[in-house]
């Protein structure tokens, strides 16, 4: 590795630019068993209890295949991917929340969009709203500690109401005095449950309190946002240990996808994506080790950024997975994403390597407009995703003047395995509680993760070095290069109700879902890989009552609709989703019993029928092949072709709020039959595992027998050697004595 490259800017710890050529090899069909529901519970106990089974599953996943990768021969392993831009002489502290340093916010003419940080700021400056009013409208939607919870509270782990109100009141007073701290002052935001926040516990999505009763300090990055006056309204739900990309969480509940509650929001920062995607907060802090910011941003129609490694400090919290995991923002627009990143990425002077970074600075001067495309990579995606990517590329080329070039990236399939092995090993090393305290899926995953030999882990780090060297060569050869890939190859992940109570293990889809995780810092934009599963555009937020047009299309629980209706213009048309509370099968019990008594009024079915402003959403057609519909931004009112207007009444994507008893009975029969088929498949898989265990056992017995023979043989040799040595010694002594006497 070189200390710096030969171009400006200069870097520390930059990889040596070097091309690595390897023909593209499509990944083999996945061999990991797919198990969900109650059956998963029994399988997880088997895997955790029987010693040989985790090793069989580890080999079955293909991790040992890196041993046959000859391209890794002679390559040094790279354990730390951190690359640090060297500071420039003109670097200086800058107020990144000053209007003069920000890009233009989205146009204010259209109501068909999310509302930005600047919208909050402008409303506060004008006196139309105060931060206190905003949090009072927001808290009923996000609190778990009320008798009648909003379904959107599932996105939040906890909200310290007194702390939230205190921060909001302080911000309100600053605006009244004409002394706001900046554009973030009074803006609500949330933090993923894997960061420290003073006064909050953090669970990392498990049932174990990793804070030992409550954190005494706040992680640096979140502290910097609070320092700007932003109001931390709560911690956000995540996938348990961050070890999957769905955000299925039987412990705390699965957050709602803002476009279709029958699909996962993506993970592991799913609570953050759900909260921002529903317009409750304009941005949130997530973490990303294998797509955990990018994938939920993609599934929920947002922008997400995975920054450079070590760019965002989490001190004083230990960073166990630092070779793969970073912290980054999710936001509803690019302006907010930039604001959040500039604050999060401020260097922490007391922590290495954060202290070596310079503050984020704007790029100045001309830049090359070059987009790199690896066709073989894009061709792996589902047809609907490919269509969206090619449409975006055409726009960038024809309208924005970008040049599109073909590139290659070596060992992508092997890179997926290397990444999965690394993040699993680091996750297992950082997990301190009993494996039986985890949900069934992670009980299996952690059991398998602990099987990785050190030699295979080292091979994975060699592959990391190859990829970094190759990317460095591409950036040197094409200055300003931006590599474009689908965020995920699949457009959404449907929820099977059987998965919500016990979870699901689907390693094949999980690894495929992380196709784009092996590159440099990555930006997810729903303009590039747009997933609109049931509705064209987000149109909602929480700025009320003055900016009441944020509320149309807000998927609100009935009592929340009443709370907001009191504050908004009665002439505004409310177009809510069907009530999720009546059809959501998510678990309603949680590790902490935070229920309290409260009374909230709700809108009855009769009121909904009589009130013409309360209309359910129309059902939109969907592509049967992928479960998605791609709707252009400039054509929100799409006319579906006749052949696309056919619906399967049992299709959860239609989001029908009610079903007949016959439909329910049929669905029950279908579910039972599916369960039977799944049980048969699991039984077959278990039989294969049993057979494999038997083979391994026999081989083990043979090795044990051979080992005993060798031990016996070595013992005989040692005994013979000892006798021979003793005899020789006696002879020597006798001969010596004879010489002395003589």
pLDDT tens digits for 507-518? 888 888 887 555
- The count of residues in the chain is 742
Q: Across residues 192-212, what is the average pLDDT?
A: 96
Determine the pLDDT at residue 638.
36
According to DSSP, residue 484 is labeled E
CA distance 247 to 298: 13
Token output for 306: 């995975």
Determine the pLDDT at residue 104.
62
How large is the greatest C-alpha to C-alpha distance in the chain, in angstroms?
A: 130
CA distance 431 to 426: 9
Burial of 62 by CB count in 10 Å (0-12 exposed, 13-18 middle, 19+ buried)? buried
The DSSP element (H or E) to which 607 belongs, if any, is helix 605-610
3-state secondary structure of 613: coil
Q: Across residues 677-696, what is the average pLDDT?
A: 68
Q: What is the gyration radius of the CA atoms in the chain, in angstroms? A: 29
CA distance 284 to 730: 84
3-state secondary structure of 630: coil
Q: Across residues 50-67, what is the average pLDDT?
A: 93
- Domains present along the chain, CATH in parentheses: 84-357+367-524 (3.90.1300.10)
Q: Which of 58-67, 303-312, 507-516 has the lowest mean pLDDT?
A: 507-516
pLDDT tens profile 700-742: 666 666 666 666 766 666 666 655 555 555 444 444 443 333 3
Token output for 325: 């995991």
Residue 602: pLDDT over 60: no
The residues, ordered by sequence, that sit 6+ positions from 278 with a Cβ below 8 Å of its Cβ are 152, 155, 256, 258, 540, 554, 555
Q: Where are the beta strands (DSSP E) in 584-623?
A: none
Place of tokens 């989001």: 655
The residues, ordered by sequence, that sit 6+ positions from 580 with a Cβ below 8 Å of its Cβ are 151, 256, 261, 555, 557
Q: Across residues 484-488, what is the average pLDDT?
A: 93
Residue 676: pLDDT over 60: yes
Asked whether 156 and 261 are in contact (CB, 8 A), the reply is no
Token output for 1: 């590795």
Asked whether 238 and 205 are in contact (CB, 8 A), the reply is yes
CA distance 363 to 336: 17
Cα 717 from chain centroid?
A: 60
pTM for the structure as a whole: 0.74
Burial of 148 by CB count in 10 Å (0-12 exposed, 13-18 middle, 19+ buried)? middle
Q: CA quadruple 407, 411, 417, 423: dihedral positive or negative?
A: negative
CA distance 56 to 436: 20
More confident residue, 136 or 545: 136
3-state secondary structure of 445: helix
Determine the pLDDT at residue 168.
99
Residue 92: pLDDT over 50: yes
CA distance 662 to 209: 45
Token output for 700: 């083990």
Burial of 469 by CB count in 10 Å (0-12 exposed, 13-18 middle, 19+ buried)? buried
Through-space distance between the first and last CA atoms of the chain, rounded to whole angstroms: 73
CA distance 519 to 28: 21
The DSSP element (H or E) to which 676 belongs, if any, is helix 661-741
The residues, ordered by sequence, that sit 6+ positions from 330 with a Cβ below 8 Å of its Cβ are 269, 272, 273, 276, 283, 284, 285, 286, 293, 296, 297, 302, 303, 304, 337
Determine the pLDDT at residue 690.
62
pLDDT tens profile 71-86: 999 999 999 999 999 8
CA distance 159 to 113: 27
CA distance 13 to 707: 47
Token output for 283: 């941005």
Determine the pLDDT at residue 648.
41
Asked whether 344 and 100 are in contact (CB, 8 A), the reply is no
Determine the pLDDT at residue 127.
96
Residue 626: pLDDT over 70: no
Adjacent-strand bridge partners of 235: 158, 191
Burial state string for 163-178 with b = 16 or more CB within 10 A and e = fewer than 16: bbbebbebbbebbeee
3-state secondary structure of 328: strand
Strands 35-36 and 504-505: antiparallel
| Inter-helix orientation angle 117-126/334-344, to 10° | 90
Q: Across residues 185-211, what is the average pLDDT?
A: 97
CA distance 633 to 537: 8
Strands 188-192 and 283-288: parallel
Q: Which of 288-302, 334-348, 368-382, 683-697 has the lowest mean pLDDT?
A: 683-697
Residue 1: pLDDT over 90: no
Determine the pLDDT at residue 232.
99
Q: Across residues 466-478, what is the average pLDDT?
A: 96
């Amino acid at each position: 590795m070189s200390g710096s490259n030969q171009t400006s800017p200069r870097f520390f710890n930059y990889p040596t630019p070097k091309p690595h050529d390897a023909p593209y090899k499509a990944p083999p069909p996945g061999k990991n068993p797919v198990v969900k529901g109650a059956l998963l519970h029994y399988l997880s106990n088997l895997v955790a209890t029987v010693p040989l089974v985790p090793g069989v599953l580890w080999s079955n996943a293909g991790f040992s295949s890196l041993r046959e990768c000859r391209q890794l021969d002679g390559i040094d392993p790279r354990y730390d991917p951190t690359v640090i831009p060297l500071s420039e002489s003109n670097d200086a502290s800058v107020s990144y929340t000053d209007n003069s340093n920000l890009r233009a916010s989205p146009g204010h003419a259209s109501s068909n969009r999310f509302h930005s940080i600047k919208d909050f700021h402008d409303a506060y400056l004008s006196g139309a709203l105060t931060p206190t009013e905003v949090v009072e409208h927001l808290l009923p939607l996000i609190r778990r500690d009320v008798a009648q919870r909003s379904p959107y509270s599932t996105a939040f782990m906890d909200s310290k109401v007194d702390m939230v109100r205190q921060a909001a009141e302080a911000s309100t007073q600053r605006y009244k005095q004409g002394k706001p701290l900046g554009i973030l002052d009074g803006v609500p935001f949330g933090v993923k449950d894997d960061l420290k926040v003073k006064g909050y516990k953090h669970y990392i999505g498990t049932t174990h309190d990793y804070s030992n009763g409550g954190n005494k300090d706040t992680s640096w990055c979140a502290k910097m946002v609070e320092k700007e006056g932003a109001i931390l309204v709560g911690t956000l739900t995540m996938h348990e240990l961050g070890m999957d990309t769905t955000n299925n969480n039987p412990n705390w509940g699965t957050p709602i996808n803002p476009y279709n509650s029958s699909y996962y929001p993506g993970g592991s920062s799913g609570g953050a994506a759900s909260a921002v995607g529903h317009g409750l907060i304009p941005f949130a802090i997530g973490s990303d080790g294998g797509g955990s910011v990018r994938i939920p941003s993609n599934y929920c129609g947002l922008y997400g950024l995975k920054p450079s490694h070590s760019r965002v400090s989490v001190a004083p919290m230990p960073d166990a997975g630092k070779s793969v995991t970073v912290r980054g923002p999710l936001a509803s627009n690019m302006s907010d994403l930039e604001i959040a990143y500039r604050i999060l990425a401020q260097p922490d002077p007391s922590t290495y390597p954060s202290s070596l970074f310079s503050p984020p600075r704007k790029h100045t001067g001309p830049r090359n407009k070059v987009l790199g495309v690896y066709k073989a990579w894009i061709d792996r995606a589902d047809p609907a995703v490919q269509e969206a990517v090619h449409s975006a590329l055409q726009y960038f080329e024809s309208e924005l003047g970008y040049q599109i070039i073909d590139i290659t990236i070596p060992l992508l399939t092997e890179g997926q395995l290397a990444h999965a092995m690394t993040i699993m090993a680091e996750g297992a090393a950082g997990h301190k509680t009993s494996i039986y305290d985890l949900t069934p899926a992670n009980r299996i995953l952690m059991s398998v993760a602990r099987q990785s030999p050190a030699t295979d882990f080292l091979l994975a780090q060699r592959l990391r070095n190859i990829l970094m060297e190759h990317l460095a060569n591409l950036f040197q050869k094409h200055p300003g290069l931006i590599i474009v890939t689908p965020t995920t190859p699949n457009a959404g992940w449907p929820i099977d109700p059987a998965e919500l109570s016990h979870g699901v293990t689907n390693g094949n889809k999980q690894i495929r879902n992380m196709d784009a995780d092996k590159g440099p810092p990555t930006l997810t934009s729903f303009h590039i890989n747009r997933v609109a599963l049931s509705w064209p555009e987000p149109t909602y937020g929480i700025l009320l009552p003055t900016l009441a047009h944020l509320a149309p299309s807000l998927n609100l629980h009935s009592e929340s609709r009443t709370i907001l209706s009191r504050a908004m213009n009665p002439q505004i048309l409310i177009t809510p989703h069907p009530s999720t509370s009546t059809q959501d099968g998510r678990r309603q019990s949680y590790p902490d019993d935070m229920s309290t008594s409260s009374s909230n009024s709700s809108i009855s079915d009769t009121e909904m029928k009589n009130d013409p402003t309360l209309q359910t959403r129309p059902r939109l057609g969907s592509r049967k092949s992928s479960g998605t519909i791609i709707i252009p931004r400039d054509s929100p009112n799409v006319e579906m072709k006749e052949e696309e207007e056919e619906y399967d009444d049992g299709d959860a994507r239609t989001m029908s709020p009610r079903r007949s008893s016959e439909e329910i009975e049929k669905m029950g029969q279908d579910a039972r039959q599916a369960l039977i088929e799944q049980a048969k498949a699991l039984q077959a898989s278990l039989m294969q595992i049993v057979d494999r265990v038997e083979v391994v056992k026999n081989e083990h017995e043979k090795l044990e027998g051979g080992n005993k023979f060798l031990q016996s043989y070595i013992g005989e040799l040692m005994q013979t050697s000892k006798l021979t040595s003793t005899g020789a010694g006696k002879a020597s002594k006798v001969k010596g004595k004879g010489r002395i006497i003589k």
